[in-house]
Amino acid sequence: MKKSSNQPAAPTIYDIATAAGVSPGTASRALNNIGYVKTETRQRVEAAVKDLKYTPNRAARTLKTKKTGLVLLAIPDTDNSFYVDMIKAVQDVCKEHGYSMILYYTDAIPVEEIRALRMLREHYADAMILVNFSFTSGYLKEIDRLQAPLVLSGICKDDIGGRPGDRFDYIGVDAEKGVFQAVRHLARQGHVRIGYIAGPAEFLLFRERHNGYLSALTESGIPYSDNLVIWCSYTESCAIRAVKSFLALSEPPTAICCANDIMALAAQRYIQDAGLRVPDDISIVGMDNLDVTTKVRPMMSTVAIAQAEIGRAAANLVFGRLAGTEMRSSIRQIFEPRLIVRESSILCSCCKPRKEYWTGNA
Amino acid sequence: MKKSSNQPAAPTIYDIATAAGVSPGTASRALNNIGYVKTETRQRVEAAVKDLKYTPNRAARTLKTKKTGLVLLAIPDTDNSFYVDMIKAVQDVCKEHGYSMILYYTDAIPVEEIRALRMLREHYADAMILVNFSFTSGYLKEIDRLQAPLVLSGICKDDIGGRPGDRFDYIGVDAEKGVFQAVRHLARQGHVRIGYIAGPAEFLLFRERHNGYLSALTESGIPYSDNLVIWCSYTESCAIRAVKSFLALSEPPTAICCANDIMALAAQRYIQDAGLRVPDDISIVGMDNLDVTTKVRPMMSTVAIAQAEIGRAAANLVFGRLAGTEMRSSIRQIFEPRLIVRESSILCSCCKPRKEYWTGNA
DNA sequence: ACTCATTGTGAAACCGGTTTTATATTGTTA
DNA sequence: TAACAATATAAAACCGGTTTCACAATGAGT
């Protein structure tokens, strides 16, 4: 702690000006290297700053310049490590530009996301990156009255709310294609009964991923089977339940694709603890390429989505908007997901991927 | 994105006042429910707000009230999931108080930590929680000129910089006792040759943890052996190197304690991939109770440090200071670490802990 | 009807910077 | 040396709120 009571008030630029024998305006110019200031005057001001331990008041500066030096990053949650790379990337770019970052967890609740948008309107920050799972029409009303750059990330379909692409920038990933790659990979391994643990249908993200499952089946000529798809939450426990119901089928799937790694890892553990082998009895592929996927045995096949790149791209775009150097009307950048085949989905041992355990990378 | 050019300027409270036919002062009082305002007047003002889509300007309010509504949380890094619980806890408490949170990664670099302290001095935020591994004397100079509440967390020994406890609040964990518990546990399992992978000696945190190893040996009557302690970085690769050198000994250790879970997990994988069994051939205990520790087989024994509680306590203390309700001169709160014995360190199979795989808890 | 407390509002000061404007000083050129 | 540009600074306006102060209107009590 630090007592905030009966301390001498922090020095202002007026104190500096008095101490240096100049006017506040001159002191300001001296400190910001703007306009004409005699070298000797500047030195007197700098000496006064050092002497009085002066630091400028952000609010006062912001009030006049209308720049907060803050970027607001709103993300769904932190329960999994899914977002840390993105957070780090955004923070890094912010630092490069001398900016700081406000982090706001929305818990994937629309009300919270709108609250975050309102923070932007109240000039808490100069710009905002909003990562969302869903996309409610309530956004658009809020977005339309924004005065500051906004970059959306996560999920945003073109057809929601009437060409939202015209209203904001979007940097994200092709959710459908990720699952498509994973399921096609399983089909190419010869699997025909491929289970899919789909996650919660209320989030657009998971509906998109489910579409990937469907289109991979179609492409592979595998007929759709209703009891091989299980909608649920996105947690471990519901993955377990899903696997149980798969195993209870007269013809259980020989491969399972999960809509995220958390569920895939839980499924793999449950299958192993039940005495079955992965991938020999059941192959598994996850989604998101969490760090953990290289730390289990067998190492989990999964789909990488370039969180760090997305974060960097979003942040760079934000600063492009702020600087006015990015003139294009609205930018839409979709990163490709990348299938990473590891051990949990390779049947033929002769073609197993090289073990690169210790790099943590595949 | 959102065009910030040629938009109508955001309405100010003057616009509201004009629209409602009152003075700005009255409008302000109406909006903040302060002083006397006729109900009918208030309604007119509220109507004007709605009509003009007014949101107050933070900087202007801050300038006068000297409250930013922001708390600054500075943490070392995000490479591991170690801090997410704490971040979440701090954010939650902030929200309860209508505050937002600035997150600043220091990368455990003193220069960055001091930069964060300076942000506080520039009134970026009303208060700050600083989590650190080390503790440099440079802090104290910076801390002494702070005008705002500061709560330290992480590591802070009494004997650094002359009674720092007088100058700020500290909420943390007993680093030494965590390793002490872990190593004593191993000793009680009958192990005599207990290896210790110590992490980087330049961080006070790891020196403290090393002390725990020493005192556990002493308590257990086990003589210290120089080649059973390896100082290194805190990464996977250096854990591997350490294990290799252990296995190359004429008498390798029968148990290994690691200064963090990242290293413990890497050690366990390496030992398993080398064809040895955990815990049968070598027992392992980690440190920090990362989520992952329940997701590997055998489940990793480790020591939990109550990140969420620490975060909550630190945040609550911050708000106690801000509200002036916390009057004690400087608070020092040390949470006890808690040993969690799982499968990686239990030799006798009859006394294995109940399998609680799916709760993720032990 | 008069006094006094309560209620309600506007005018103006203030927070601490930045920026504009006006003016003074210095230096350069014809 | 006069004219003019470049340099240097002070004074004042401004950003958009909150808060203080003064004063008016209303209501209660005697």
Q: What residue numbers bound the domain in which B50 lies? A: 13-56
Give the tens place of pLDDT for each residue, A297-306.
Answer: 999 999 999 9
Q: B339: how many CB neighbours lie within 10 A of its CB?
A: 18
- Higher per-residue confidence, A345 vs A145: A345
**Judgement on whether residues A353 and A289 belong to the same structural domain of the protein:** yes
Residue B158 has what pLDDT? Answer: 57
Within window 176-205 on A, which residues have Cβ closer than 7 Å to strand D?
Answer: none
Question: Is position B5 within any domain?
Answer: no
**Judgement on whether residues B351 and B256 belong to the same structural domain of the protein:** yes
**What's the pLDDT band for A356 if we cut at 50, 70, 90?**
very low
With a 7 Å cutoff on the CB, does B67 touch strand D?
no
**Judgement on whether residues A100 and A247 belong to the same structural domain of the protein:** no
- Higher per-residue confidence, A139 vs A291: A291
Q: Which nucleotide is nearest to B23 (CA to C1')?
A: C10
Check CB contact under 8 Å for A58 and B122: yes
Assess B4–A contact: CB distance below 8 Å, yes or no: yes
Which chain A residues are closer than 8 Å to B295 by Cβ?
265, 269, 292, 295-296
Question: Is position B2 within any domain?
Answer: no
**What's the pLDDT band for A166 if we cut at 50, 70, 90?**
low
* Average pLDDT in chain A: 87
Give the tens place of pLDDT for each residue, A223-274.
Answer: 999 999 999 998 999 999 999 999 999 999 999 999 999 999 999 999 999 9
CATH number at residue B77: 3.40.50.2300
Q: What are phi and psi of B204, to 5 degrees?
A: -55, -40
CATH number at residue A44: 1.10.260.40
Among B81, B169, B265, the residue with its CB nearest the CB of A1 is B169
Question: Is position B3 within any domain?
Answer: no
- Measured CA to CA, the distance from residue A220 to residue A275 in angstroms comes to 30
**pTM, 2 dp:** 0.87
Residue A14 has what pLDDT? Answer: 96
| Counted domains in chain A | 3
**Judgement on whether residues B348 and B332 belong to the same structural domain of the protein:** no
Question: Is position A227 within any domain?
Answer: yes
Which chain A residues are closer than 8 Å to B58 by Cβ?
59, 62, 68, 122-124
Question: Is position B208 within any domain?
Answer: yes
**Judgement on whether residues A112 and A235 belong to the same structural domain of the protein:** no
**Judgement on whether residues B203 and B97 belong to the same structural domain of the protein:** no
The residues that bridge with B359 in the sheet, in sequence order, are: none
Is a pLDDT exceeding 80 seen at residue A135? no
Q: What is the CA radius of gyration of chain B?
A: 26
Instruction: Residue B260: name the closest of B314, B310, B203, B191 by CA.
Output: B203
* Average pLDDT in chain B: 87
The pairs formed by B237-242 with CB atoms below 8 angstroms and a separation of 24 or more are B237/A358, B237/B266, B238/B197, B238/B263, B239/B197, B239/B263, B239/B264, B239/B266, B239/B267, B239/B270, B240/A358, B240/B266, B240/B267, B240/B270, B242/B195, B242/B197, B242/B267
**Judgement on whether residues B256 and B318 belong to the same structural domain of the protein:** no
Q: What are phi and psi of A237, to 5 degrees?
A: -65, -35
For chain B, give the secondary structure using H, E and C: CCCCCCCCCCCCHHHHHHHHCCCHHHHHHHHHCCCCCCHHHHHHHHHHHHHHCCCCCHHHHHHHHCCCCEEEEEECCCCCHHHHHHHHHHHHHHHHCCCEEEEEECCCCHHHHHHHHHHHHCCCCCEEEEEECCCCCHHHHHHHCCCCCEEEEECCCCCCCCCHHHCCEEEEECHHHHHHHHHHHHHHCCCCCEEEEEECCCCHHHHHHHHHHHHHHHHHCCCCCHHHEEECCCCHHHHHHHHHHHHCCCCCCCEEEECCHHHHHHHHHHHHHCCCCCCCCCEEECCECCHHHHCCCCCCEEEECCHHHHHHHHHHHHHHHHHCCCCCCCCEEEECCEEECCCCCCCCHHHCCCCCHHHCCC
Residue A237 has what pLDDT? Answer: 94
Within window 4-63 on B, which residues have Cβ closer than 7 Å to strand D?
Answer: 9-14, 24-25, 27-29, 31-32, 34-35, 54, 56-57, 60-61, 63
> In the structure, how far is the CA atom of residue B231 from the C1' atom of nucleotide D6, in angstroms?
64
Assess A334–B contact: CB distance below 8 Å, yes or no: no
Residue B4 has what pLDDT? Answer: 41
Residue B162 has what pLDDT? Answer: 45
Check CB contact under 8 Å for B358 and A236: yes
With a 7 Å cutoff on the CB, does A68 touch strand D?
no
B129 → chain A, closest CA residue:
A1
Is a pLDDT exceeding 70 seen at residue A332? yes
Q: Tokens 């299958």 appear where? A: A271
Q: What are phi and psi of B101, to 5 degrees?
A: -125, 130
Residue-level pLDDT, tens digit, chain B, 362 residues:
544 445 677 899 999 999 999 999 999 999 999 989 999 999 999 999 999 999 999 999 999 999 999 999 999 876 667 888 899 999 999 999 999 998 898 888 888 888 899 889 888 999 999 998 777 766 777 787 788 999 989 876 654 444 444 567 889 899 999 999 999 999 999 999 999 999 999 888 899 999 999 999 999 999 999 999 999 998 999 999 999 999 999 999 999 999 999 999 999 999 999 999 999 999 999 999 998 899 999 999 999 999 999 999 999 999 999 998 887 878 889 999 999 999 999 875 544 433 332 222 33
- Going from the C-alpha of B74 to that of each of A204, B160, B288, the distances in angstroms are 34, 20, 19
Q: Which residue is nearest to nucleotide C6 (CA to C1')?
A: B36
Among B55, B272, B331, the residue with its CB nearest the CB of A121 is B55
Is a pLDDT exceeding 50 seen at residue A351? no
**Judgement on whether residues A319 and A277 belong to the same structural domain of the protein:** no
**Judgement on whether residues A225 and A349 belong to the same structural domain of the protein:** yes
For strand D, give the nucleotides within 7 A of a protein CB. 7-20
For the sheet with B283-285, list strands across it: B229-231, B194-199, B255-258, B283-285
**Judgement on whether residues B228 and B259 belong to the same structural domain of the protein:** yes
Strand A302-304 with A338-340, pairing: antiparallel
Residue A158 has what pLDDT? Answer: 59
- Measured CA to CA, the distance from residue B125 to residue B100 in angstroms comes to 9
Distance in Å, alpha carbon of A362 to nearest chain B alpha carbon: 15
Instruction: Residue B289: name the closest of B317, B309, B262 by CA.
Output: B262
For range A211-216, the mean pLDDT: 97
**What's the pLDDT band for A137 if we cut at 50, 70, 90?**
low
Assess A141–B contact: CB distance below 8 Å, yes or no: no
**Judgement on whether residues A189 and A170 belong to the same structural domain of the protein:** no
> In the structure, how far is the CA atom of residue B15 from the C1' atom of nucleotide D26, in angstroms?
29
Question: Is position B7 within any domain?
Answer: no
Q: Tokens 């294609």 appear where? A: A177
- Higher per-residue confidence, A352 vs A357: A352
Question: Is position A7 within any domain?
Answer: no
**Judgement on whether residues A199 and A293 belong to the same structural domain of the protein:** yes
Query: What's the token pair of residue A148?
Result: 């500051």
Assess B119–A contact: CB distance below 8 Å, yes or no: yes
Question: Is position A316 within any domain?
Answer: yes
Residue B161 has what pLDDT? Answer: 45
